[in-house]
Chains A and B, each alone.
Chain A
């Protein structure tokens, strides 16, 4: 369904992504890797927020490399930002209504809020401004991407900024999404629990695909690296993992 052909991205005299080639067909694929490895850039290139320096993005057989963000959205790609955007005056119900393509108070919209642990009565009329905490914003962002549905949902590190107490319910949200969605999910995450429920894991390092395989295999290897004496989670620095 998604194919990245020779994707490179160069900025500020750095090669952020180097000749990425990937074919993604599995339902739930996680992208992980050290900070600065190009994970967010990769997802933004798929959504069209960033234009690659070279290479092609093929979605369902169509070359979408030059399509603007909204046209990709209308082809069925959605995106949940790592740092959700705030709006003065626009309410949660406004954005959910646009995302779901229906009334902002519909049963469907309410269900998405409940699924991320927010009571619709308390939140539908809240403005998406500074009065919402970072954790609340993240949940609303996830609800929006879920409401958008579609063929491919992209999540940029949804767990970032979520407190530990909320984390269990976040895992449940993604487990649930995995079961109910008809589309595919591509999610950036560092959390073992999320990586474990993925079908496959893409491990990015230095702007390149270091591993792309079934979740269990990649997890085994990453764990082996850790047991090998590395002091980081996934061979980020130092130790024997040569990260």
Chain B
């Protein structure tokens, strides 16, 4: 792995060296390094287009890193990663993809992650997407995340796309069983002429199921974002969605809430707000010594934290 790839790895997975625990580092379409542990088994899919990761029942306080780096212009891939988390686990999965494209051809990563989370298990999932490069070739990323939560399980997702991706189409689908919980914090920053589309669909199917979806977006330059949050309450359940956006320059944001209840005991709430940075927030930070640009930067940094 060269210095560029190491830097990208640091950017998307905060890794300076090989991580402790299970990991699979994919670089330009190939597995660069892999490690399984006694409780976490990583295997290549037979079709060769991704990995299956198996967590034994009762695996606790272990992590699995699966970062992806693309540094070759024109490289395009579609990768399927399936996670099978047993019962009574408590694990952290750190994904992330970085594309550095200095060439004239488009580079693209489409990652389809499917999570099967067993009874009473807890999964913390962190996914960071990042792009850079001075070439005319685009950096494209289309992640799909599918989550099946069994009884009493919890998935806490922290997903972000902070910079440098030209176009993205992000799909998240979740089916939530009895007493299971999905927490999702999704953050997108777009700039220049970038576009981002995000569709989050949640089915609350089990009694006692809960979801809390917070989507935050900042659209700068002439970028566009289109966010759809669609929650169906099909049982005694609680669903909450918050879609909060800041627009700057000539940015455009479309936020579409959709709630559907098929059970009288379903309690669903959607909040949405779009606006520019409040002038009083900038003034406040200026009274602390920041100039206007620094104040804006600080406000966005906090908003997308």
When the two chains form the complex, which single residue of A70, A79, A84, A85 contacts B290, counting CB atoms closer than 8 Å?
A70
Most buried by A among B278, B288, B290, B291: B288
Chain B contact patch, size range: 20 to 34
For the complex, what is the distance from the CA of A47 to the CA of B303, rounded to whole Å? 26
**B289 adjacent to chain A (CB < 8 Å):** yes
The minimal Cβ–Cβ distance linking B152 to chain A, given in whole angstroms, is: 28
For the complex, what is the distance from the CA of A70 to the CA of B286, rounded to whole Å? 5
Within 8 A of B (CB), among A65-120: 68-70, 73-74, 78-79, 81, 84-85, 87-91, 94-95, 98-99, 101
The minimal Cβ–Cβ distance linking A80 to chain B, given in whole angstroms, is: 9
Q: Could you tell me if B286 and A69 are in contact, using CB atoms closer than 8 angstroms?
A: yes
**B61 adjacent to chain A (CB < 8 Å):** no
When the two chains form the complex, which single residue of A68, A84, A94 contacts B302, counting CB atoms closer than 8 Å?
A94
For the complex, what is the distance from the CA of A132 to the CA of B303, rounded to whole Å? 17
Chain A contact patch, size range: 20 to 34
- Describe B's contact surface by its main secondary structure: helix
For the complex, what is the distance from the CA of A101 to the CA of B289, rounded to whole Å? 9
- Give 1 or 0 for each of A35-51: 1 = CB within 8 Å of chain B CB: 00000000000010100
- Give 1 or 0 for each of B111-124: 1 = CB within 8 Å of chain A CB: 00000000000000
Which A residues lie within 8 Å of B287 (CB)? Answer: 47, 49, 69-70, 73, 78-79
Instruction: Check A89/B284 contact, CB under 8 A, given A70-B291, A98-B290.
Output: no
Q: Could you tell me if B284 and A81 are in contact, using CB atoms closer than 8 angstroms?
A: yes
Q: Could you tell me if B290 and A90 are in contact, using CB atoms closer than 8 angstroms?
A: no
The minimal Cβ–Cβ distance linking B176 to chain A, given in whole angstroms, is: 26
Which B residues lie within 8 Å of A47 (CB)? Answer: 287
The minimal Cβ–Cβ distance linking A57 to chain B, given in whole angstroms, is: 15
Which B residues lie within 8 Å of A144 (CB)? Answer: 288
**A148 adjacent to chain B (CB < 8 Å):** yes
Q: Could you tell me if A87 and B305 are in contact, using CB atoms closer than 8 angstroms?
A: no
Instruction: Check A88/B244 contact, CB under 8 A, given A70-B291, A94-B302, A98-B298.
Output: yes
The minimal Cβ–Cβ distance linking A98 to chain B, given in whole angstroms, is: 5
- Listed in ascending order, the chain B residues whose CB lies under 8 Å from chain A are 216, 244, 278, 280-281, 283-292, 295, 298-299, 301-305
